Structure 1
Amino acid sequence: MKRIGSFLGALAVSLTATSAFAIDIDSRYQPYQPTTGVSGSLKSIGSDSLNNLMTLWAEGFKAIYPSVKIEIEGKGSSTAPPALIAGTAQIGPMSRPMKAAEIDAFEQKYGYKPTQVRLAVDTLAVFVNKDNPLSCISLTQLDGVFSKSRLSGSPNIVTWGQLGLTGEWASKPISLFGRNSASGTYGYFKEVAMVNGDYKDTVKEQPGSSAVVQGIAADKFAMGYSGIGYKTADVKAVPVAGRDGKCQEANQRNAYTGAYPITRFLYAYVNKNPSTALDPLRGEFLRFVLMQDGQKDTVKDGYYPMPYVFAQEELAKLGLN
């Protein structure tokens, strides 16, 4: 899987005025303009990481089109492809790209591939309790903490002292929280931080990102991972060092330049026949998401807006600009 830096590195020069902490929206984004003929029902099935964001987008869209009904179910990215194939969902949000087998199954039924739409940018954060003094962790150390395979060559890391903490922390075991295997977040963390190794049996797998964060907030000695949009005041995101050894904070600048090593796009997939236009309901919903209104909701939920040029590429792909 290509990481986001290979797509976004060229944008670094455009971020010289961007704060490392504020989340900015490109001034070229224009407000969404309502149109006529938009009605009906949409069902979204897929990523839990996108659950809150899909809800915000749906609420904003329904404020413009009150007769539209939108139902959202977020139980994990792996639930999106079968729902799109079966026709039980019209939008499949995913926190990872579809796998080759999922694309093949879709194409076998419809004769063309599903259409991937990039909607937002996320730094997959490594969270600890707000009282934890840990100031940085490397990908290799994360492999040692979370993986029983340790394919990076890391030693087995089980206590906070092995990460350099002293005093009361030194001998305390690291309590691990993570997502379940239906989650795209589970798979992406496994790929990038664990070199596709296997998770330790001690990882407490949670059905949703908010449950991961709640577990860490309630356990002083816990560590876990989820999308940055689920950060609360009770946890902190630890800077992560990539293979170059440089600690990088999970922020917009580092996401866009690819400096933060666990950065990704958040997607939606739709069933779009290449020879026909999208119906008005799906088309206008995706247009709303990829314009100023939807990207403001992205920021409100704690994720990073799509770089403007990429949003225009997605709209063009859908025949919407």
Structure 2
Amino acid sequence: MERPATIRSIASRKFARALAFAVTIACASSILSASAGPIAPPPWQAPPGMLRVWGTLRAADILGRWQAGFHGTRMVAHLTGSDIAMAGLYTGQADIALIGREATDAEIKAFEWVFRYRPTRIEVATGSLASPGRSPALAVFVHRDNPLARIDFATLASVFGAQPAQGKSGIRNWGDLSVGGEWSRHPIHLYAPDSESGSGAFFRARVLGGDSKMNWQNLDEFAEPARTPGGVDVASRDVLRALARDRYGMAIADLAYANTEVKALALKSDGEFLQPTRSTLIDGIYPLRRSLYAYINVPSHTAPDATVKKFLRHVLGAEGQRALEANQVGYLPLGKEAAQRQLRALSELPE
């Protein structure tokens, strides 16, 4: 069977990343060389009675519900995307960076470069089960005809990684997964979102330990189109369309675009094999669940902004978590224990 065309060739991908790295280094060098001395951090607290939130556009619904139950404060929302939310925080333009993923190393370092300490992260919601753009959980898919039903993380790492996981041999054919019959002699064709996208980086962090060396020879990446309605990620749609045409494929995608030609495998990281369901996500036990995070600026040994702390207590409280139950919101509430952990983390901040 002829495989679908790769969105970008390996050579062009490596060249683009090398060029981006070179430009970043050049810009950073010019900025540092132009600095005569230490740069004073920008003022970072909002005027009294105001709360400034930068973040993902897809959080607009839930942010509106949280705001409706939080009285006496004027909220100013700048929801243009997770990729610039942290910039709002470290330039002093935002009190909360609300993003549907963990901040990247580059974003954390940029904040540290300005303030000389790390931002504080609070988990405020569970990512969706199958709502595009709202931190949906990832799943591992195979064609519906494939007899495989489950896979553990170590095996998955040996399939998608350039090097086999510790204690595992390289897995390149279906026979290496003990799939017999006609399947055994066929190579495993891999499909996934761009490895540098939010979904791709999340998968590499969780399964490959952050390693960027993947099984490029057998992998087709699907880049996100430059413009999509509402900024929704549709790479998973294209990934699963390709898998639907390939009986010998395996794919990483979210459930929003699952079709009748594919099926999700049960996954195991440390415990039992689990399917992505509403309950396994909320309980925090499905290994590829994602979250919505609030990053805030808490200076060392200094109390956080009182309005910010009060708002996050509202979000993590019973009313704030109930607001996540609305169907159109997409995000899911935290489990009770997880919400209590985050509330304790807030209470442990300096007063």
TM-score bracket relative to the smaller structure = 0.5 to 0.7
User: What residue in structure 2 maps to residue 72 of structure 1?
Assistant: 79
CA–CA separation in structure 2 for the residues paired with 1:192 and 1:172: 24
User: What residue in structure 1 maps to residue 234 of structure 2?
Assistant: 211
* Local SS of the residue matching 1:248: coil
Task: Give the Å deviation of 1:252.
Answer: 5.5
CA–CA separation in structure 2 for the residues paired with 1:259 and 1:58: 26
* Local SS of the residue matching 1:210: coil
Residues paired across the two proteins, number: 271
In the alignment, does 2:244 pair up with 1:238?
A: no
In the alignment, does 2:245 pair up with 1:249?
A: no
Report if aligned partners of 1:143, 1:194 keep a CA contact under 8 Å in 2.
yes
User: What residue in structure 2 maps to residue 189 of structure 1?
Assistant: 203
Report if aligned partners of 2:52, 2:93 keep a CA contact under 8 Å in 1.
no
Task: Give the Å deviation of 1:278.
Answer: 2.3
Q: 1:247 to 1:176 in 2, by over 3 A?
A: same
Task: Give the Å deviation of 1:240.
Answer: 0.9
Report if aligned partners of 1:91, 1:268 keep a CA contact under 8 Å in 2.
yes
User: What residue in structure 1 maps to residue 141 of structure 2?
Assistant: 128
Q: 1:162 to 1:315 in 2, by over 3 A?
A: same
Q: 1:172 to 1:152 in 2, by over 3 A?
A: same
Report if aligned partners of 1:125, 1:238 keep a CA contact under 8 Å in 2.
no
Task: Give the Å deviation of 1:190.
Answer: 1.9
CA–CA separation in structure 1 for the residues paired with 2:320 and 2:197: 27
Match of 2:342 among 302, 311, 314: 314
User: What residue in structure 2 maps to residue 8 of structure 1?
Assistant: none
In the alignment, does 2:42 pair up with 1:44?
A: no
Task: Give the Å deviation of 1:137.
Answer: 1.6
**Residue identity in the other structure for 1:43:** W
CA–CA separation in structure 1 for the residues paired with 2:291 and 2:119: 17
**Residue identity in the other structure for 1:144:** S
Q: Deviations over 1:95-123 (max 9, x none)?
A: 23664x75455344225431210123458
User: What residue in structure 2 maps to residue 271 of structure 1?
Assistant: 297
What is the CA RMSD across the aligned residues, in angstroms?
4.2
**Residue identity in the other structure for 1:291:** G
In the alignment, does 2:306 pair up with 1:295?
A: no
Report if aligned partners of 2:139, 2:265 keep a CA contact under 8 Å in 1.
yes
User: What residue in structure 2 maps to residue 146 of structure 1?
Assistant: 160
Q: Deviations over 1:260-285 (max 9, x none)?
A: 444565422112345344253x4565
Q: 1:112 to 1:141 in 2, by over 3 A?
A: closer
Task: Give the Å deviation of 1:214.
Answer: 0.8
Report if aligned partners of 2:154, 2:168 keep a CA contact under 8 Å in 1.
yes
Report if aligned partners of 1:90, 1:271 keep a CA contact under 8 Å in 2.
yes
CA–CA separation in structure 1 for the residues paired with 2:232 and 2:165: 26
Correspondence 1:51-66 to 2 at 5 A: 52=58, 54-61=59-66, 63=68
Task: Give the Å deviation of 1:41.
Answer: 4.6
CA–CA separation in structure 1 for the residues paired with 2:342 and 2:251: 32
Query: In percent, how many aligned pairs have the same letter?
Result: 21
Match of 1:176 among 180, 191, 203: 191
User: What residue in structure 1 maps to residue 18 of structure 2?
Assistant: none
CA–CA separation in structure 1 for the residues paired with 2:344 and 2:269: 34
* Local SS of the residue matching 1:314: helix
CA–CA separation in structure 2 for the residues paired with 1:73 and 1:162: 45
Q: Give the TM-score normalised by structure 2.
A: 0.59
Larger radius of gyration between Structure 1 and Structure 2: 2
Q: Deviations over 1:250-305 (max 9, x none)?
A: 3465557765444565422112345344253x456534432345434545456552
Q: Deviations over 1:114-133 (max 9, x none)?
A: 12101234584324267454
* Local SS of the residue matching 2:63: helix
Segments of 4+ in structure 1 off by > 6 A? none
User: What residue in structure 2 maps to residue 137 of structure 1?
Assistant: 151
* Local SS of the residue matching 1:181: coil
Task: Give the Å deviation of 1:317.
Answer: 4.1
